[in-house]
Structure 1
């Protein structure tokens, strides 16, 4: 603990001494995050190659091969055993898998991740992929990068906003290093993690992704992930075929998302030691892999073969499609660590390849290339699964270095995501969060905002403009209060419009001088009795920073103004309120959130802490007293709360700290663990 405290104190002492300004501080941190992510992901990919060569080289061919070709099925089983032990002893139980956990942290915890667990998780991912589990390397790569961002943010004790920006930059750097795709990394962070554009975050994300890509290309070369021949879009007549591909890819993506969580539920219902489950999943993968070895591991070799135009039968492609749709959920649900990003690319490639072959046979007069459909299918299924269309389009461009089929690509991706969202509202990442009552939109948990109304947080006495005001007077008011827009009233005090900076610029260009001539009359409004979640969605659809709040029965009566900053403040307040309620009613969930052990410990007669205030007891540093239950009442203990014999404390602690708390509570012992008797 002392070494860790010294390590944490050194950056703070440096900051206190030199007092760097915000821009160089964030830039320096972004560079460190980019270098750390780039170097670590490069090492991660190298270790995957080593693990794969060991598993399917020496282990499968030299050690197991003499017993028969069927013994290749044992490779994922042995890998599952190693992964299960690593997770059991060094990682522990986590609420959400991979990127979903990062999304939750950015939205709810200021980007603060348990970065010290990431090396063990990365090692488990290396063994998972190397032993043939049907998972990808991108989730661990994103976690590695995001972990660096969170680590530097916490070491420098930065604000939540800056830590979020560094986590998003680390995630972008992870994608840049994993796929040699820096632009896709930037869009990945913006679409999936932040949900909206912020000036400081934008620069941090770009710089971290750029540095990571420069490092990756310096050590691995600038070549794209896949080497493919040139394919072209010949005529508008081909677009209906790509429409069909999008209509097929959407349901496949939605099915993929549902299967992932269906198999997680099935494995959760299987009451065996957790470390045994990856072995069972490995057995399923291994048995299928005897006949379809292309399904082992990431499958990039198969994708490249399809894109290169190698002759693969439609039956084989469809078998690979079904196999991947089953084995990836089995692998993830069984406890293997890895990503769902690359498997969705594999599913899209085999789907598009099979679809292209069918179209080629049905329309022999058209100059169709099935590999072109495979390329588009990759982006279409990916977009439908992760609900990030820009990321999918840009990633495909950067992975193939081919921009010639942009029109069918954009068309199929759009159709696919529309169909997928219609069938499955949540993405592969957000469905797990939604099942825990967390629904993220624009980087915020809108379920939290459902409990707060617009009337609670709106600005009730806003600065106003009147139709008779001149534009010069309006400009002075906007500059004085540093606002981008203000509501406009007529002489009777009725709301008639809103005037923004953009309205003033357009009016001055047209020679107008009065507010009445320049203001926007078609208004988007909010009502005081509706939830902030509804108002936030309305802001997002129109990209509006403020909404006039009006009487529902009289839309021309202005009651106040709701600004985006008001929503953010209310959001933080709502999170605090929700956490307090959770502490009072659900100690079990506290253990899930923290990842630590939660025990209820009874204070015994004559215990060292009995009769003393909470603040007077020398609790171990790595422990938290979450709640106190006294008879039928559950309390949140404060520093002046006097502890009494018979009180039951909900304690978050592990190891030596937990033993110290037990000693302080005397011979009462542990009443429950994780809420179970």
Structure 2
């Protein structure tokens, strides 16, 4: 009876899951639940990180980066201590055979599937890094936990691939919306940075998650991240041109920062003597930077607000800009974990204020408000590094409520985004994945095509003969009409080329000659693991209509025709399009 009761419960649960997959209203409700969870987790992580900073540095009301100076320099030992904690944490994970999957990678390659342990690893490392004062933000942990919880919900309900990707994006976007108290920002973050496109079917669930997450922040009475406010006014054509120039400048800085992180990371990776102690060494290197300016500590929330209020001298802003870039590069290169979202907002505000100061000092007679320039610089630099022009434009709108500013922000972000894409082609997250050998350039779902390999689409009904055969022996073995092409192999079974059957029956051919002389494409082969795009590229380069697939031992295991490969490719594209527009077909 107990066994029958359990079986009935399993059947009932499966039925409910099926109903949810088929109901749009139920899916929106599930997204709202994911948003509530993401909002709660964002506030919990923020509380833990700030609690660590309070314990280590004694900060209470102010943000760590807003400190005027370090009154007790010995407290900066928290930086290498944090590095030591990360080092011990990494040693505890030594048995793990892979790098944790983040939300962008999960949606691009794995259909939204994220192992829950990966979420805990990324969030823990980020909280330790930020809590110790390293120059990284918590936004990566927020998005990871929000998207990770959504992924677990979606997997439990066995959602379709497209729905699971949408739910992961909704969870990650909800977490970012909760951090800034800005639901539209969270929604656009989901569309542009995690899902990779805007789709009619995703609008309602993503917005439901973002609104739910922000509701949690407001219900808890938590203060969202402060940006700045500005007064409404009209902008002239010359203002638009100046802010477009600022967008271009921010794109150059964004690409420089990403290159610096990559260069330093690769250089540090080669230092064998400190291989296991990199976070500790990084923490020690951050101490003198923090002594010069506490604004290099943490993500920079307090410092951003402080500089906008106090309007410091250009020389001070320039020094802080250089120190903050150095701190961010050191933090990420030496093993601290976190994102560059808010750090890029802070750096962008510094670039904007410096730009405004230089313009206002120039003999051109132009004047731009430093606050406006700071806000435009924040959006433009973040777009270059993080991506998502509409995400940052809407963030500025939701935090300032200034519709006039929206025009120049969009101008600068679009210039920055276009220039970065043209000259660099990556955001910070996809750039780091690229350095690890991935082909990801955006969160768009390429997982289907990556799993559509030569080994999956090959056929195994091929005919093989020895390369030592004569033409006469070949004609006896393979009569006309049996097969169009024959594969030649040597005595060890290694591939040696393809022989068209008709060529062996040419009337002018000497029957005693070796059939190997008729072989073509002897050096052109497919490997089992080659993805469909690589397969099609090789077909184009070889101008072939059929290629063999070999294994690691050079043994022939199958044959792929160009026609079949292209048909399978377009079938997968069509399936992706159906999911994109919410069709179950």
TM-score by length of 1: 0.61
State the distance in 1 between where 2:373 and 2:302 align: 18
Q: Which moved more, 1:16-25 or 1:73-82?
A: 16-25
- 1:501 is matched with which residue? none
- CA positional deviation for 1:380: 0.5
8 Å CA contact 1:111–1:160 kept in 2: the answer is: yes
Change in CA separation of 1:450 and 1:23 when aligned onto 2, cut-off 3 Å:
closer
Residue of structure 2 equivalent to 1:567: 573
Paired with 2:453 and 2:354, the residues of 1 have a C-alpha distance of 50
Q: Could you tell me how far apart the structure 2 residues matched to 1:92 and 1:185 are? A: 35
When residues 91 and 214 of structure 1 are mapped into structure 2, their CA distance, relative to the original with a 3 A threshold, is farther
Tell me, in whole angstroms, the C-alpha distance in 2 between the residues paired with 1:356 and 1:227.
Answer: 16
Corresponding residue number in structure 1 for 2:79: 76
Q: 1:151 to 1:292 in 2, by over 3 A?
A: same
- Correspondence 1:300-319 to 2 at 5 A: 300-308=301-309, 310-319=310-319
SS in 1 for 2:272: coil
CA–CA separation in structure 2 for the residues paired with 1:332 and 1:12: 48
Is this contact kept in 1: 2:100–2:121, CA < 8 A?
A: no
Are 1:351 and 2:340 matched, yes or no?
A: no
SS at match of 1:197: coil
Q: Is the 8 A contact 2:265 2:332 kept in 1?
A: yes
Name 1:340's counterpart in structure 2: 340
Match of 1:526 in 2: none
Q: Secondary structure at the match of 1:444?
A: coil
Is the aligned partner of 1:111 residue 2:107?
A: no
Question: Whole-Å Cα distance in 1 between the matches of residues 539 and 432 of structure 2?
Answer: 20
Contact 2:106–2:114 (CA under 8 A) maintained in structure 1: yes
1:452 and 1:14 map into 2 onto residues whose CA distance is: 35
Partners of 1:449 and 1:531 within 8 A in 2: no
Are 1:190 and 1:197, in contact at CA under 8 Å, matched by a contact in 2? yes
Once the two structures are superposed, the pairs formed by residues 324-339 of structure 1 within 5 Å of their partners are 324-339=324-339
1:203 paired with 2:204, answer yes
Q: In the alignment, what sits opposite 1:237? A: 238
Name the residue aligned to 1:438.
439
Long gaps (5+) in structure 1:
1-6, 62-66, 458-528, 535-559, 573-677
Answer whether contact 2:116 2:152 (CA < 8 A) is retained: yes
Instruction: Map 1:232-381 onto structure 2 (within 5 A).
Output: 232-271=233-272, 276-308=277-309, 310-362=310-362, 365-381=365-381
Residue 350 of structure 1 deviates from its aligned partner by 0.6
Give the total of aligned pairs.
458
**Inter-CA distance 373–397: structure 2 relative to 1 (3 Å threshold):** same
CA-based RMSD of the aligned residues comes to 3.7
Q: 1:223 to 1:140 in 2, by over 3 A?
A: closer
Conserved 8 A contact 1:11-1:156: no
- Could you tell me which residue of structure 2 aligns to residue 386 of structure 1? 386
1:162 corresponds to: 163
Cα distance in 2 for partners of 1:210, 1:169 equals 10
Q: Deviations over 1:255-311 (max 9, x none)?
A: 111122222222322325765211111111112111111110111112112333x13
- Cα 1:275/1:39, change in 2 over 3 Å: farther
Deviation at 1:440, TM superposition (A): 3.7
The equivalent residue for 1:45 is 46
Q: CA deviation at 1:234?
A: 4.1
CA spacing shift, 1:273–1:88, aligned 2, 3 Å: farther
Higher RCO (Cα < 8 Å, 6 or more apart):
2
Structure 2: distance between partners of 1:362 and 1:94: 57
Residues of 2 paired with 1:315 and 1:96: CA distance? 41
Shift, 1:446, TM fit:
9.1
For 1:175, the equivalent position in structure 2 comes to 176
Equivalent positions of 1:540-619 (< 5 A) are 566-569=572-575
Answer yes or no: is 1:397 the counterpart of 2:402: no
Q: Structure 1 residues 156 and 445, CA, compared in 2 at 3 Å: closer, same or farther?
A: closer
* Partners of 2:230 and 2:371 within 8 A in 1: no
C-alpha distance in 2 between matches for 1:274 and 1:173:
37
Superposition deviation, residue 199 in structure 1: 3.9
2:55 is aligned to 54
Alignment of 1:482-561 (within 5 A): none
Please state if 1:20 is matched with 2:19: yes
Structure 2 SS opposite 1:157 = coil
The answer on whether the counterparts of 2:108 and 2:447 sit within 8 Å (CA) in structure 1 is no
Match of 1:421 in 2: 421
- Cα deviations by residue, 1:146-205 (Å, 9 ceiling, x for unpaired): 111111112222222222121111111111112112111111121122222344433221
1:89 and 2:92 are equivalent in the alignment? yes
Unmatched 5+ stretches in structure 2: 1-5, 65-69, 459-534, 541-565, 579-585
1: CA distance, partners of 2:358 / 2:9: 63
| 1:28, distance to aligned residue in structure 2 (A) | 3.1
Q: Deviations over 1:470-527 (max 9, x none)?
A: xxxxxxxxxxxxxxxxxxxxxxxxxxxxxxxxxxxxxxxxxxxxxxxxxxxxxxxxxx
Task: Tell me the alpha carbon deviations over residues 615-673 of structure 1, each in whole angstroms, 9 at most, x when there is no partner.
Answer: xxxxxxxxxxxxxxxxxxxxxxxxxxxxxxxxxxxxxxxxxxxxxxxxxxxxxxxxxxx
Please give the alpha-carbon distance, in whole angstroms, between the structure 1 residues aligned to 2:44 and 2:272.
36
